[in-house]
Structure 1
C-alpha cells in the first residue's frame, strides 16, 4: 500500500482512530493489508473480518506478533496496537482501496483493467498480467481474488510506480460488480461470456446479463469495452458502451472480431491457431490445455492492445503461459496416466468445454475417464444442467464416468439413462471412496479429467491422483 498517515486512513474509511504507544495521527503506514493474520508482515495492516467459522478479532494479537502496526476492527480489541474502529471492515477496505487507487491515478501513469464473465476470468487475468508485466509494474489478483474482500485487497497493493492494475470481478448477485468496479472506474473493461454460472443467485440468465453489463457501465469516460463477438448476450452490451461514448473492441472467432482466431487444432500439448489483428496474421501455440482458453487469450490480447501493447508482443508473451492457475486444467500424473485437475470451479459451460477437451486430446489406444462432481449455485436449474452434462459425457463416448457427491447424482442418473451401463458410469458418495476405486481402476493410457465446483472438493482428489500416478 502507498504510504498514508493514520489520520488519512481513518478519514478514508470513516473510522474512529484509537492510538497506541508512540503512534500519532501523522504516523505513516505503508505495509501490506490483509485479512489473514498469517500473511501479515512488518508494518502491515490487519483487517479483523468476522467470518462464518471464526472471527478475525480473535487473531489481532497474532497479527501484532507478525508485525502489524494497525488493525481495522469493528470493536476495540485488548491488544497492543493502534486500531481504527469502523461499522463494517469489508466496506472499510473498499473505501481505503478507492482512496489509494485514486491517489495513484492522480500521478498520471496508472491504467486499470476490469475483467468479468461467467467463466475464464482468472485465466484471462493471468494471461493479461503476463503480457503487461513486460511493459511495466503490474498488480493482479492472487488466485481468484475477485469478491468484496479479495478485489479491494488487490487494489491496495498498488504503489506510486504501478503502471497497470488488473482487477477480476466476480459476483453472485446484481449490484456487486457495479460496487467493485466503481472503486476504480476501469480504463478497459473485458466481458468474456455470459453463461449459467451463478444463475441461481442472479435469478436467471437475463439477470446474469444485466449483472455482467455493470462492468461496461463502470468504465471511465473515454475508455474501452472489450467484448466477445461470439456471445450474443455479451455483444448486446455494445449498445451500453456506445451510449456512453466508449470505444468497443471485439475478440472471438467471428469475422467481425478485431482480434480473431482461426484454424484451431486442440492437442494434448495445447492449442494451435492463427490469430489476426490490425491486418497482421500470427501463429499462436497456447500451452494452456483446452481449446476454450483461446477465447481467453484473445480477450487478453485485445485488452493489452487497447492499452497500447503491440499485437506481436502480446502473442509472443501468451505463448509463455504454461498454466492458467492451479486446479484449472492442470496437467498432473505422468505420460502413463495423465490427470487433468480442473476442479477449482465448474459451470455448465466450463464442464462442457472440459469434457470436449478430454475427448479431443485422448489419442488412439488411450482411454477417457471423467471424474465429475457438482456444479454449484445453479438454483432451480441444477437438476436440468447436471442432466445435460451426463448426456454429453455419454454422447462423447467416455467409457468411464465417475460421479462423486450426492449433489451430482442427477448427472450419474442421466448418464445411466442415456446408455452408460455395465459400470461404465459409477457413483460414489464421497471423494475418499472415489479415490479407492480409481486407484485400482486406472491403467496405462488413461486420460483422466477431474472436474467440479470448488465446494465439491474434488480438486484435492485430483491432487491425490496426480501424486499417486506421477
Structure 2
C-alpha cells in the first residue's frame, strides 16, 4: 500500500485514533485481515466473523509489527476505530486507487473469471508492474484488500468481481472504479440465488454501466459469442471491444486445434495483426479466456506478438483449477475441484475427453470424479442429469459420482444415456472415491476431479498425489 499516516487513515475512513501517541506514524506495509499475515509496518483490519473475532487478535498483530488496528472498538493497542470495518476498508481502497491513477481492469462472468484474471495478470506484467486478485478473493473484503496492494509503481490493477445478487457489482465498482470492464459470459452459476439468466445478465452488466465514457477512456470488453454479453454494449457509454470466434470480433481466434495432450492452439487476430498461440493450459474453453485476456492487453497497448508470446508462456496461478500433475507411475490427476457450475463442468469434461487420446495411446482410461454443483435451485436435477449424460457422450471411460442426492442425479443421467455396465458408479464420500481409485487406477489413466467448493473433492486429488511431491501443473 502507499504510505499513509494514521491520521490520514482516520480521516479517510471516518474513524478516530485510539491509543495512538503519534497520529503522524505511517503505515508502509500491507493491509491484512489475518493476524498471522501481519508484517512490520502493516495495518491489521479486525473483522468479527461467525466463529472468530479479529479484535481478539489485536495484541498479536501489534506484536508482529502492525502499526495499528482498523477496528470497530478499542482493542488496547494503537487503533483507528471506525463504525464499520468493512465500509472503512472499502473507503481506504477507494482513496488509494484514486490517488494512484492506476489503470483499473475489472472482470466478471459466470465461469472462467479466475482463470482469465490469471491470464490477464501474466500478460500485463510483461508490459508494466501489475497487481491482481489472488485466487478468487472477489468480494466486498477481498477486492479492497487486493486494491490496497497497489503502490506508486503499479500501472495495472486487475480485479475479479463476483456477484450473488443485483447491486453487488455496482458496490464493488464504487470501491475501485474501473476504466476497462470485461464481461466473460452469462451462465447458470448461482442461478438458484438470482432466479434466472436474465437476472444474472442484469447483475453482470452493472460492470459496463460503471465505466467512463469513450471520450474519458472507458472500454467495455465483451464476449461476441454470448448474446447476453454482446447485448450489454447498449448499457454503456464506453467504447466496446468484442472478443470471440465470431467473424466481427475485434480480437478473435482462427484455426483452433488441440494438441494430443489437450492444450489449445490457435491463430490470434487483433486489429494490429495476427500471431500463433499455443496455451500451456488444458481444455478448449481456455481459448475464450485467452481471447479475453488478449483483448484487454490490446486495449492497453501491447502488440499482437507480445500478447501471443505472453499467452503461450502463461500457466495456472490459482490452485485446484485444471491443475494437471502426472504421477511417477504414469497416472495423470487433473485437480479442478475449487468450484463447479454447469458451464465449467462441461468445459472440464471436454478437456478430459481431449486428453483421452493421449491416454488411450498409453493404454490408459479417462475417469471423471464428480460431485454436487451448488446453488442451482430448480435447475439442479436437470443440470446434474445433463452432466452425467455428457460424460457418456464424450466417451469418458468411467464416471465416479460422489455424494448424495445430486451425485445420484449425475449417475442417473449417465445411466439414461446408455451407461448400463460398470462405466458409472455412485460412492458415498471422498474417501470411498479414493479407495475405489487406488484399487483400480493403472498407468496411463487420466483422472478429473471436480465439484462445488463445499463438497471438498480436492481431498480426492490430493490423496491420489500423496507422496508425489509438490503439486504443480506440468
Normalising by structure 2, we get a TM-score of 0.94
Task: Write the distance in 2 (CA, Å) between the matches of 1:311 and 1:387.
Answer: 42
Please give the per-residue CA displacement for 1:88-111, whole angstroms capped at 9, x wherever unaligned: 211111111001111111xxxx21
Given candidates 241, 250, 253, the residue that maps to 1:249 is 241
Per mean C-alpha deviation after superposition, the further-off stretch among 425-434 and 187-196 is 425-434
Q: 1:468, CA displacement in angstroms?
A: 5.8
Partner of 1:264: 256
Q: Which structure 2 residues correspond to residues 295-310 of structure 1 after superposition, within 5 A?
A: 295-310=288-303
Task: Write the distance in 2 (CA, Å) between the matches of 1:8 and 1:306.
Answer: 35
Partner of 2:339: 345
Partner of 1:97: 93
Q: 1:316, CA displacement in angstroms?
A: 0.7
Q: 1:414, CA displacement in angstroms?
A: 2.2
Partner of 2:472: none
Please give the per-residue CA displacement for 1:180-199, whole angstroms capped at 9, x wherever unaligned: 11222211100011100111
Given candidates 300, 309, 319, the residue that maps to 1:316 is 309
Q: Which structure 2 residues correspond to residues 363-382 of structure 1 after superposition, within 5 A?
A: 363=357, 364=360, 365-382=363-380
CA RMSD in angstroms, aligned pairs only: 1.5
Partner of 2:389: 391
Task: Write the distance in 1 (CA, Å) between the matches of 2:163 and 2:283.
Answer: 25
Cα contact 2:222–2:229 (8 A) shared by 1:
yes
Assess, with a 3 A threshold, how the Cα gap between structure 1 residues 104 and 206 changes in structure 2: closer, same or farther: same
Q: 1:233, CA displacement in angstroms?
A: 0.6
Q: Find out whether 1:415 has 2:409 as its counterpart.
A: no
Cα contact 1:113–1:167 (8 A) shared by 2:
yes
Normalising by structure 1, we get a TM-score of 0.94
Cα contact 2:188–2:342 (8 A) shared by 1:
yes
Please give the per-residue CA displacement for 1:273-299, whole angstroms capped at 9, x wherever unaligned: 111112522111011111101111111
The runs of 5 or more residues in structure 1 that have no matched partner are none
The runs of 5 or more residues in structure 2 that have no matched partner are 470-474
Partner of 1:362: 356
Per mean C-alpha deviation after superposition, the further-off stretch among 311-320 and 83-92 is 83-92
Please give the per-residue CA displacement for 1:119-147, whole angstroms capped at 9, x wherever unaligned: 11111111111111122211111111111
Task: Write the distance in 2 (CA, Å) between the matches of 1:323 and 1:83.
Answer: 38
Q: Find out whether 1:181 has 2:177 as its counterpart.
A: no
Cα contact 1:128–1:304 (8 A) shared by 2:
yes
Cα contact 1:269–1:287 (8 A) shared by 2:
no
Partner of 1:290: 283
Q: 1:345, CA displacement in angstroms?
A: 1.4
Per mean C-alpha deviation after superposition, the further-off stretch among 232-241 and 8-17 is 8-17
Q: Which structure 2 residues correspond to residues 19-418 of structure 1 after superposition, within 5 A?
A: 19-20=19-20, 23-77=21-75, 79=76, 81-105=77-101, 110-221=102-213, 222=216, 223-241=218-236, 244=237, 246-267=238-259, 268=261, 270-278=263-271, 280-334=273-327, 336-363=330-357, 364=360, 365-406=363-404, 407-418=406-417
Please give the per-residue CA displacement for 1:355-401, whole angstroms capped at 9, x wherever unaligned: 01111121234311100011112122222211111111122222211
Q: 1:462, CA displacement in angstroms?
A: 1.1
Task: Write the distance in 2 (CA, Å) between the matches of 1:74 and 1:154.
Answer: 21
Task: Write the distance in 2 (CA, Å) between the matches of 1:7 and 1:279.
Answer: 49
Aligned length: 459
Q: 1:324, CA displacement in angstroms?
A: 5.0
Q: 3-state DSSP class of the match of 1:237?
A: helix
Task: Write the distance in 1 (CA, Å) between the matches of 2:436 and 2:452.
Answer: 21
Q: 3-state DSSP class of the match of 1:319?
A: helix
Cα contact 2:262–2:354 (8 A) shared by 1:
no
Cα contact 2:364–2:446 (8 A) shared by 1:
yes
Task: Write the distance in 1 (CA, Å) between the matches of 2:226 and 2:307.
Answer: 23
Q: 1:269, CA displacement in angstroms?
A: 5.4
Task: Write the distance in 1 (CA, Å) between the matches of 2:322 and 2:304.
Answer: 26
Cα contact 1:337–1:469 (8 A) shared by 2:
no
